[in-house]
Amino acid sequence: MLNSDELKILWVSAELDPYSKVSGVGDVSRGLPKALYDSGIDIRIMVPRYKFINPEEHGFIRVFKGKFPFIQGEIIVWEGKLTNHDLTIYFVEHEIFKDEKKVCLDIEKTNVEKTGMKFLFLSRLSVETKKMVGWTPNIIHANDWHTATIPAFVKAFPPCKKNKVGTILTIHNLAYQGRIPVHLLEKIGLPHIYFGDLIENDTVKLLRIGIKWADKITTVSPTYAKEILYTDLGFGLQNDLIKRKNDLVGILNGIDTEEWDPETDENIPQNFSKKDLSGKQVCKRTLQKTYNLKQDPNMFTLGMIARISKQKGFDLLIEALPDLSKEKIQIVILGEGDQKIKEEIRNAANDYSDTLSVKFGYDFRLARIIYAGTDAFLIPSKFEPCGLTQMYAMRYGSIPIAHKTGGLADTVLDTGEFKTGFLFEKYDKDSFVNAIIEAYNVYSLNKEKWEHIVKVAMSQDHSWKRRVNEWKTLYNEILINIRKKEFEKISPEKTSNNDSIDIREFFK
């Protein structure tokens, strides 16, 4: 394995916590690079400088101002450090990002041409770091459809003539594939050879380009890596992925356990630990008051924090309310998203006001109070590539009640002495209700068992530090494969019998 200081990684993403987070990708884009940096790797992040990010307010320094022939207008690169950390971030400023109010997940719900061009531009620019900041990575790490064309751009416009640059594409959610018109790829200058066979009705899914050309492809959990190959969770890309299955790896996400710690969290009413859970009751009372629910310590209080979409299982929750309202159960929701589903949730909250209370939007502090103040946490997702909320919930002693899919199946244990949650296998209302009632019965009838489950859940180590070695191994594999191929290209005719080649030179 190469030394950590030989790895130079550029992480490129559409979002980054705390500057432009809209989904779990923002959390991952902060947490994983931070852990890799702390392990000795020279990793840096590149993200757009959206209009709402103020460089002066954050103390960023302008390190580049200039133009490139592949897009009109001036480009500025701001260099900053991750909040409370030394990790370097490059914020790319261009007029193309000026009207972006939030990061787009589903391109088809926006101006497709405008949004598509924004992220093609970001991807194209990622191979120009030497010209902009005087630094060249040896691996560029792309994330989701937004930056999925990076592997193709790296091959078409090599960032370094001396040494090839490797690429990784991480698929956080295969449902979002970034379909754009072909002419945008032609406009940005990507040669036809990199996407010609992927054209469908004059459009191309950007994620397919990344799947085809990346050196390695990762997903955010081992189970999801299998699901996308052989089930409808492949969303039509099963054949593309099967062709690359030998280069497909599932690595679980993690969380920042220093930032997410109920013993030190300043955002919750009272701190607590697995040795002393008394503070959790204080958080529960605050939560009940905040959501205008009955302040009763014996109520089984459930939380749900999610993007409001079909994927997240709100249909099951709404369907389950008539059954759940018969028990001493309260449910609080925090989220933002689909307007139609929001209206359905709002109506349900009016009909079952003693059981369900909702706040739309995203409130960082309130989210912490929900994790700390709930007894259990609902994750009825139809599919879930990894999920972070179950890890945050366990960290704060809120027991996951989740659909057994993707990363939920990999992180929540439903049996034995080390049980950390309650899973249901069949995606339907009855299975969901049964899992909730099973948890409710343990909570209300067997306090000793419930407290044991809570303490086991809080003892789980889902830190990013646990994932670092897996990522180091993968990065090393990419670089070693590249250097092997470079060595194999040396023709015997070009060396005399008196010449010798030291293969070690290729692995420096």
Task: Give a yes or no: residue 345 inside a domain.
Answer: yes
Residue 498 confidence (pLDDT) above 70 = no
pLDDT tens digit sequence for 321-354? 999 999 999 999 999 999 999 999 999 999 999 9
CATH of the domain at 326: 3.40.50.2000
Within a 10 A sphere around the Cβ of 102, how many other Cβ atoms?
12
306: helix, coil or strand? Answer: coil
401: helix, coil or strand? Answer: strand
Task: Give a yes or no: residue 35 inside a domain.
Answer: yes
pTM of the model: 0.90
Within a 10 A sphere around the Cβ of 310, how many other Cβ atoms?
14
338 and 249 in a common domain: no
- Residue 3: predicted pLDDT: 63
Residue 112 confidence (pLDDT) above 50 = yes
What b/e string do you get for 15-34 counting C-beta neighbours within 10 Å, with b at 16 or more? bbbebbbbbbbbbbbbbbbb
Residues 437-452, mean pLDDT to the nearest whole number: 97
215 and 100 in a common domain: yes
301 and 176 in a common domain: no
- Give the 3-state secondary structure of 71-126: EEEEEEEEEEECCCCCCEEEEEECHHHCCCCCCCCCHHHCCHHHHHHHHHHHHHHH
Residues 406-425, mean pLDDT to the nearest whole number: 96
433 and 363 in a common domain: yes
Percentage of residues in the chain with pLDDT exceeding 70? Answer: 94
- Residue 107: predicted pLDDT: 84
Closest by CA to 405, choosing from 431, 367, 443, 430, is 431
Task: Give a yes or no: residue 226 inside a domain.
Answer: yes
Domains identified in the chain, total number = 2
Sequence-ordered list of residues with C-beta below 8 angstroms from that of 146, at least 6 positions apart, any chain: 13, 14, 119, 122, 123, 178, 206
Give the single-character DSSP code of 7.
-
Residue 95 confidence (pLDDT) above 60 = yes
- Residue 505: predicted pLDDT: 43
Contact between residue 153 and residue 123 where contact means Cβ atoms under 8 Å apart: yes
216 and 112 in a common domain: yes
Residue 501 confidence (pLDDT) above 60 = no
- Residue 5: predicted pLDDT: 66
Residues 259-275, mean pLDDT to the nearest whole number: 97
Query: What is the number of residues in the chain?
Result: 508
Closest by CA to 358, choosing from 375, 376, 337, 372, is 337
- Residue 219: predicted pLDDT: 97
Task: Give a yes or no: residue 468 inside a domain.
Answer: no
37 and 176 in a common domain: yes
236 and 89 in a common domain: yes
Residue 362 confidence (pLDDT) above 50 = yes
pLDDT tens digit sequence for 138-188? 999 999 999 999 999 999 999 877 779 999 999 999 999 999 999 999 999
306 and 165 in a common domain: no
Confidence of residue 30 (pLDDT cuts 50, 70, 90): very high
Within a 10 A sphere around the Cβ of 140, how many other Cβ atoms?
29
- Residue 389: predicted pLDDT: 97
Q: Can you give the residue range of the structural domain that contains 382?
A: 278-458
Residue 494 confidence (pLDDT) above 50 = no
Task: Give a yes or no: residue 499 inside a domain.
Answer: no
- Residue 327: predicted pLDDT: 97
Task: Give a yes or no: residue 467 inside a domain.
Answer: no
| DSSP H or E stretch at residue 61 | strand 61-68
Rounded mean pLDDT of the chain?
93
Residues 412-433, mean pLDDT to the nearest whole number: 96
- Residue 109: predicted pLDDT: 77
166 and 128 in a common domain: yes
Residue 440 confidence (pLDDT) above 70 = yes
Residues 216-225, mean pLDDT to the nearest whole number: 97
Task: Give a yes or no: residue 495 inside a domain.
Answer: no
Task: Give a yes or no: residue 64 inside a domain.
Answer: yes
247 and 146 in a common domain: yes
Residue 446 confidence (pLDDT) above 80 = yes
Residue 71 confidence (pLDDT) above 80 = yes
200 and 288 in a common domain: no
126 and 55 in a common domain: yes
